Amino acid sequence: MLEVIILGAGKGTRMRSSLPKVLHNLAGKPLIHHVIDTARQIGAAKIHVVVGHDADAVESAVSAHDVSCHRQTEQLGTGHAVKQAIPACRPDSTVIVLFGDVPLLTHHTLASVVEMAASGPVVLAAKVEDPSGYGRVVRDGQGLFARVVEHKDANEQERELNEINTGVLAATGEQLASWLNQIDNDNSQAEYYLPDVLGVAIREGVSVSVVTTGSDEWLGVNDRVQLAHVERALQAREASQLMAAGVGIADPTRIDIRGNVTAGQDVFLDVGVVLEGEVSLGDNVRVEPYVVLKNCSIGSGTLVNSFSHIEDASVGNDCQIGPYARLRPGSELAEGVKVGNFVELKNSYMGAGAKANHLAYVGDATVGANSNIGAGTITCNYDGANKHKTILGDRVFVGSNSTLVAPLTVADDGFVAAGSTVTSDIAESQLAVGRAKQRNIDGWKRPTKEPKD
């Protein structure tokens, strides 16, 4: 059985934030959620999270059926942290230790660690150009693992080594429990270092294997500069995966993917696009600059123009959205709908071929096929206490600057004259004129400004 221990007790002082470090967002979700997701991908039967600073907040954030939390009331080092969780692990389990602030590790790399751990303890190392600040992996004359030495405790020769310890290691629960009881805090930090258990293993004659990665997936987060760096690294990875699947991206350095994206053929995403939550894009969808798509589906052949915002909505095939359009939660568009600039929809359905081309608000409404909503039109759906429904049939025409006071029904082929305030239902093919009678006043004098002294 595979169990994972994730260390997430630290405060993250260098983040200069009241929020625990592992709860800072990366690509739309907390750092530690990325680590938990990866643990699940490698088949962890149980996930143990060690919490400390603001433990209640972290526990609440990671709460799940397969996650248990263990409190480290004093932060006395990584070895001490693992010691809080190891009693909850089965002695015969393979236990892998991960870090809540190291979110880029892939399940492919960790699967290699787990596979090798079947033969004995394993440490994950990385080859880097600048190893400053990191613990070094020291090998013996035969190139086998000898020990890990922390940077502050390393001598000049050891500091020249460029193979660093990522902190990730795996062994059986029984081995870790035994070795943790044998390490001490006789070091410059007066902390119990987790890598010291590997030295204990060597002294007991147990060989330690090394898996080495050369990518940036070992990078951790200690401050906001590193958080931004890891964000771009993750975004580059996500963009590369989309492009490998056939999605065209104008500039991979100027896109943000904060969820799961599925896309058909010949999709194109321009600069500044933000994709959040679950997003589905059909064939030949084109998304222009600075569009936000959140938990939505966009049908094939649809064009989303610049600066539009679509959230919790469904858009059919061959639609045109924006620019500057907003589709709020509950909006559903059938095939061939046009929602133009500065149009807002909320909890509304628009039938095939319907149009609201400019400057309109459509809320809690059903709009029939091939209906047209003119500029400046609003549905008055809220009476100050309750929401009410507006129903427009097929081929309804609503003239510009009209006010539709719900609850209201306009039957098929109904017509609303421009500038009308409509408060009563309109029957099929009726024309509604709901505006004050115009008066033209002769001899009217335009106001003039008083002269200044």
Q: What are the CA-CA distances from residue 197 to residues 2, 123, 170, 449 (Å)?
A: 19, 11, 11, 87
Do 274 and 391 belong to one domain?
yes
Do 246 and 181 belong to one domain?
no
Do 181 and 326 belong to one domain?
no
d(CA 107, CA 12): 25
CA 148 to chain centre: 35
Answer whether residue 15 is part of any domain: yes
pLDDT of residue 207: 93
d(CA 381, CA 32): 42
Do 287 and 308 contact (CB within 8 A), yes or no? no
pLDDT of residue 124: 96
53 assigned to active site: no
pLDDT of residue 112: 95
Using left for φ > 0, alpha for ψ between -120 and 50, and beta otherwise, residue 307 falls in left
d(CA 411, CA 186): 84
Do 107 and 176 belong to one domain?
yes
Do 159 and 304 belong to one domain?
no
Domain boundary residue, one of 164, 186, 213: 213
d(CA 85, CA 68): 9
Do 88 and 236 belong to one domain?
no
- Number of residues in the chain: 453
Which CATH number fits the domain that encloses residue 421?
2.160.10.10
Do 44 and 106 belong to one domain?
yes
Answer whether residue 275 is part of any domain: yes
Answer whether residue 447 is part of any domain: no
pLDDT of residue 448: 86
One digit per residue, the tens of pLDDT, for the chain of length 453 reads 999 999 999 989 999 999 999 999 999 999 999 999 999 999 999 999 999 999 999 999 999 999 999 999 988 999 999 999 999 999 999 999 999 999 999 999 999 999 999 999 999 999 998 888 888 999 988 888 988 888 888 898 899 999 999 999 999 999 999 999 999 988 878 889 898 999 899 999 999 999 998 778 999 999 999 999 999 999 999 999 999 999 999 999 999 999 999 999 999 999 999 999 999 999 999 999 999 999 999 999 999 999 999 999 999 999 999 999 999 999 999 999 999 999 999 999 999 999 999 999 999 999 999 999 999 999 999 999 999 999 999 999 999 999 999 999 999 999 999 999 999 999 999 999 999 888 999 998 888 888 876
Answer whether residue 445 is part of any domain: no
pLDDT of residue 209: 94
Answer whether residue 438 is part of any domain: no
Strands 136-139 and 122-127: unpaired
Count up the domains in the chain and report the number.
2
Answer whether residue 95 is part of any domain: yes
Which CATH number fits the domain that encloses residue 25?
3.90.550.10
Q: Which domain holds residue 354?
A: 224-432
d(CA 137, CA 69): 30
Do 334 and 316 contact (CB within 8 A), yes or no? yes
Residues 6+ apart with CB under 8 A from 34: 26, 27, 103, 104
Answer whether residue 61 is part of any domain: yes
Do 202 and 285 belong to one domain?
no
Do 191 and 43 belong to one domain?
yes
Pick the closest to residue 162 from 132, 128, 196 (CA basis). 128
Do 173 and 229 belong to one domain?
no
pLDDT of residue 451: 81
| Catalytic residue (one of 33, 34, 309, 358) | 358
Domain boundary residue, one of 161, 189, 213: 213
Domain boundary residue, one of 190, 213, 236: 213
pLDDT of residue 165: 92
Do 188 and 293 belong to one domain?
no
Q: What angle, 0 to 180 degrees and rounded to 10, lies between the N-to-C axes of helices 107-117 and 31-41? A: 50
Which amino acid appears at position 304 of this protein? V
Answer whether residue 452 is part of any domain: no
Rg for the chain, CA atoms, rounded: 31
Do 207 and 235 belong to one domain?
no
pLDDT of residue 159: 92
